[in-house]
Structure 1
Amino acid sequence: MEDQGVCGSIMAVLLSKRAESALEVQKVLTEHGCIIRMRLGLHEASKDYCAEEGLILLHVCGSGEEAAALERDLSSVEGVRVKTMELRDL
């Protein structure tokens, strides 16, 4: 089993126009899939409504360079904002 590096980062990925950016975001997540330990996607949905805004939470395990590349690639998608929280320093 390969060493996954540091597992102390949580990324919050906010998609303002989920339907328009979802395919490109999925492509980026797949490209960086080896450093993503957990992924949780949230958006408001009901029988009559599906929100355009979505939130993805990622638990990232990898080097600082790998995590920075993931954040950079996600941020380059139009309508996507990314914030990273480092938990290993707590």
Structure 2
Amino acid sequence: MDKLPIKTVMVVMVDHRKEVATKVQQILTGWGCLIKTRLGLHDGVLDNCSDVGLIILELVGEEKQHQELCRKLNLLDGVKAKYISLSFDD
């Protein structure tokens, strides 16, 4: 029987997006080989752009790498990152 897939997703909430976005981007670029899918969301229309953003990442690689990426993001002021691994075995 084939082993069921495990999916790891990280959610990153960014407050004060305009001030911290560059640092978040540097970290994500440095760990880019772990990121299979990235979706960035924020409320904004023209000049009424929200200062809070949400980034959803689908990750590949080892759990220790995911933990380190999460730790580095959480070191930034105004950034909160959490990740979960999902499988049908759970």
1:6-85 alignment runs, 5 A limit: 8-85=7-84
- In structure 2, what is the Cα distance between the partners aligned to 1:8 and 1:37? 11
| Cα distance, 1:7 vs structure 2 | 5.5
Tell me how far apart the structure 2 counterparts of residues 20 and 27 of structure 1 sit (CA, whole Å): 13
Give the TM-score normalised by structure 1: 0.87
Q: What number of residue pairs does the alignment pair up?
A: 85
**Is the 1:7–1:59 Cα contact (8 Å) retained in structure 2?**
no
2:85 aligned residue = 86
Q: TM-score, normalised by structure 2?
A: 0.87
Question: Post-superposition, which runs of at least 4 consecutive aligned residues in structure 1 deviate over 6 A?
Answer: none
Gap regions ≥5 residues in structure 1 = 1-5
Which structure has the larger Rg over C-alpha atoms? 2
Gaps of 5+ in 2: none
CA distance in 1, matches of 2:55, 2:79: 11
Distance in 2 (CA, whole Å) between partners of 1:55 and 1:76 is 17
CA distance in 1, matches of 2:48, 2:31: 31
